Structure 1
Amino acid sequence: MARGEWGHNGRCSYKRTTIIVCSVNIVVALYVLQSLYTSLYMYPFSDSQSTFKYTANQIRKMEESNQIRRASEPTELIKLVSQLKQSLKQKLINEILDRLRSLDAAANATLQREAIDSWRKKKLREVKKFIRGKTLNSTILPEEAGAVAKALSSDWVELSEQIGLWIPIEIVNKEHDDKPEGEEDFDEEILPGRKLPPECHAELHTDYDGAAVRWGLTHHKESAYDCCMACLDQAKRAKPGEMKCNIWVYCPSETGCYSPDIYEHKNQECWLKYSEKPKLNFKDTYSESYRDSHPKAPVVVPWVSGVVSV
């Protein structure tokens, strides 16, 4: 009864209202999709077209670059190589490979290039003789001799690349020695502690002989600097008639230091010694003959020493 009255009064029914609302929604949705499509694809495209426009100066530079590139191309050589038959190219490649196989397996790039260049010169002489009418036992046919001679006489580096042969350039790194003439080599070993002053006359990997003023077995110092200072202080405080320290010997190695005596010498041992004429026990390295007779001796002398003036 209510539906009849609703339609009778000229108003739309629920069904018609639903259809109208859905139609409007579909139209709105299509409009929104069209707007999104236009904003995502049309505008960025037009912006990109305007963003990447080149200036007249940029265009001129690109044209100059292309001209330089075209001028540097070995066009004559490329044309010459293109005239060689594939079978002829394969003959040349096979001969080059045979020459490379004849080299020692350890041959470097330099030796390989020298071998190939030697083959090229020999092949060129052979082809030229063939052109002059001399009969040779050659793999090159008479009609191919002229083209091969021109190719081998041209830029060989470019030609080798054109036929598929490429040998990398060997890079030799040389150590630059900027040490001033007459200067001794710097020892890169860094001693712990403060830097030793010149009056300590420190010598790395050195062991001096002398009478013990203070035994290092019970006399440890934090660094070689402290050991040197202990020697200088002892010399200043020594009483008349007592030996004055003029040699200090220090063990900087954390694993201890070798000595041919019966004792085990540990890190931070500081020996204070005296000698009227200081004499070396060992310097830099222990000799091979010494190590043969003393198997426990290392290669390098671990001690650091110095002779001071008192």
Structure 2
Amino acid sequence: MADALGVCNACGSRTRCSYKHATIVICCLNVVTLIFLLQALLAPFYRKSQMRQGIPERAKFVTAGEEIRRAMEPMDLIKRIKELQLESESASENQIQRKVSRQNNAAEISKRLNDLRSSTDQNSQKALEEWRKRKMERAKKREMGKNATSTNTGVIREKH
């Protein structure tokens, strides 16, 4: 450990560490820190004052830059692009209208097909019923004919 005079007991050499020197070093560091803080706080005000002095020059520079930029814009190309956008919007509206009309037409056609199918189904049902009736009548006639022939053949067999 060090004593008040700054003698280090471990190595036996005399160092220049005293409370007085340490206080002076800390005060110097505080002064340097204070200078940096003041600079940081006052820098924006200093910049504003410089900007106020150079406003007319900067305004001229900015307006000249804007004029150059406007002169370099391809106005014809911009107008043509806007026209194409309008045309594409109208074309898309036409496509939407076409799509709606196609959907309406498709709905109408499907309705007609359903009506046609239902009428066809009714007609086919009627035709099927008539066919069944005729078939039944033919079957009855055949049976009656078979019965008549079987009775006739039975009579004929008895005679022999």
Q: Which has the higher contact order (CA 8 A, sep 6+)?
A: 1
TM-score (norm 2): 0.30
The structure whose Rg is larger is: 2
Query: Going by fraction, where is helix more abundant, 1 or 2?
Result: 2
